Amino acid sequence: MHVATGGVLSVSTATLLLRMTPWEDGTFKEKKKGGKKKHGESHKVSTTQFSDPAEVTEFVVNQGNGVKGLSETGIKALPDQYIQPFEERLINKFVNETDEAIPVIDMSNPDESKVAKAICDAAEKWGFFQVINHGVSLAVLDNVKAATHRFFNLPVEEKSKYTKEKSLSTNVRFGTSFSPRAEKALEWKDYLSLFFVSETEASQFWPDVCKNEALDYMNKSTTMVRKLLEYLGKNLNVKELDETKESLFMGSMRVNLNYYPICPNPDLTVGVGRHSDVSSLTILLQDQIGGLHVRSLASGNWVHVPPVPGSFVINIGDAMQILSNGRYKSVEHRVLANGSNNRISVPIFVNPKPESVIGPLPEVIENGEEPIYRDVVYSDYVRYFFKKAHDGKKTVDFAKI
Ligand SMILES: O=C(O)CCC(=O)C(=O)O
Ligand SMILES: [Fe+2]
């Protein structure tokens, strides 16, 4: 592979830059190159560039540099494979036209029934909410954010020890985009995904620079997770979180560390494309940069989820939508790419056990409600999700009757 290091903008990159000029209708038309370049003019641009898209894929995906590595070469134009179809792009001017906002719920309110009601209402109307005063200390949150930066700041030789090909555990995966081999257009995001099996497994295989912080973050969040699930369960006539319900609602957990580096043409791509999560519940810690947008069920508008210091963003996932027979909503969301800031987020995906059979809960259909979902093995559902590119809310159709 060739990476020009001398600061010369190659001809094909120059063509790419010209081709990327946005037009009013949102399409990208070729612009005539201006007059002849004077000798030496190309040396004015100091950057590292690639001469064709296959080299980008080699560098980003196969060599494990990720989009962070690509961003740090100083690349000036978005490579072709990251250009999303027009309708998938999230252009700021279209998303800021709404004054809708997802609820922010204070979990320290002494009137617990009010907290429970606010949470269940939000789960039904929005599928998304933020919680403050949730009982997880700021230090735990700060530590896992710092650990996320530490991991992504490792040299590529270190990070690439955790790629699909090289990782010593299938539960630890460093990757980029969502599913690069299944996607027509890639997403501007790198991630480290840590599936929790046991403390011993984690301490053996999770990267040293972040394992204690990621484990602590997951463990310290569990009390809040259980509380949220108790509230949501009670409202569905689930009396208590016994062993069966625990394994359905929170039988397995995955912590992801997400990194969204500065993007040269943020309007042309996405950090994460439209999707709903396959979890029962997702607990998300985001930094102060912003960029997560949620589709309002009421209006269809894309609504920004503003960073609230010390908060968690909570969302209902597909598994909970299925278990609740559609009462709680797993809602589409996506993340904007950013032209001036790097962003991190740290979701915990709280999932059923992989071998669990999920379908509408008996407590829900007991009262005569028609089930709208069939029973599916959770691992089959997850496999189906990862086999294809992000495609909005379509995954849940897999379980529709
Ligand atoms: O980074 C974010 O804000 C959201 C990420 C997300 O939606 C996901 O990882 O499923
Ligand atoms: Fe998500």
* CATH number, position 153: 2.60.120.330
Residue 1 belongs to a domain: no
Same domain, 178 and 248: yes
Q: In what order do the strands lie in the sheet with 281-286?
A: 104-106, 128-132, 312-316, 281-286, 343-351, 252-260, 190-196, 172-176
Residue 140, burial from CB neighbour count under 10 angstroms (0-12, 13-18, 19+): middle
- Which of 54, 71, 93 is the endpoint of a domain? 93
Q: Which of 309, 289, 310, 293 is nearest to 301 (CA)?
A: 293
Q: Which atom of ligand 1 is nearest to the CA of 256?
A: 9
Q: Which atom of ligand 1 is nearest to the CA of 291?
A: 3
Which residue range(s) make up the domain with 302?
A: 100-399
Q: Is the dihedral of CA 323, 328, 334, 335 positive or negative?
A: negative
- Which of 77, 93, 109 is the endpoint of a domain? 93
Based on the structure, what is the number of domains in the chain? Answer: 2
Residue 34 belongs to a domain: no
Per-residue confidence (pLDDT) for residue 382, from 0 to 100: 87
Q: Report the alpha-carbon distance of residue 132 to residue 108 in Å, rounded.
A: 8
6 compared with 344, residue with greater pLDDT: 344
Same domain, 65 and 110: no
Residue 36 belongs to a domain: no
Tokens of 206: 């999770």
- Which of 76, 93, 110 is the endpoint of a domain? 93
Average pLDDT on 126-130 reads 98
The finding on whether 338 has its CB within 6 A of some atom of ligand 1 is: no
Q: Which atom of ligand 1 is nearest to the CA of 334?
A: 7
Same domain, 115 and 75: no
Per-residue confidence (pLDDT) for residue 267, from 0 to 100: 92
Same domain, 274 and 129: yes
CB 175, CB 257: distance < 8 Å: no
The finding on whether 277 has its CB within 6 A of some atom of ligand 1 is: yes
Q: Report the alpha-carbon distance of residue 353 to residue 137 in Å, rounded.
A: 27
Q: Best of 194, 277, 313, 335 to mutate for ligand 1, by most ligand atoms within 8 A of CB? A: 335
Torsion of CA 78, 84, 85, 86, to 10 degrees: -70
Average pLDDT on 252-276 reads 96
The finding on whether 333 has its CB within 6 A of some atom of ligand 1 is: yes
Q: Is the pLDDT of residue 367 over 90?
A: no
Q: CA–CA distance from 173 to each of 42, 85, 160, 387 (Å)?
A: 40, 28, 9, 16
Same domain, 171 and 65: no
pTM of the model: 0.86
79 compared with 43, residue with greater pLDDT: 79
Average pLDDT on 197-208 reads 97
Same domain, 121 and 205: yes
- The identity of residue 338, as a single letter, is N
35-69 residue pLDDT tens: 333 333 333 333 457 878 889 999 999 999 999 99
Tokens of 396: 């849940």
Residue 3 belongs to a domain: no
Q: CA–CA distance from 30 to each of 123, 173, 263, 268 (Å)?
A: 46, 39, 21, 16
Same domain, 17 and 130: no
The finding on whether 272 has its CB within 6 A of some atom of ligand 1 is: yes
Q: Is the pLDDT of residue 108 over 80?
A: yes
Q: Is the pLDDT of residue 341 over 50?
A: yes
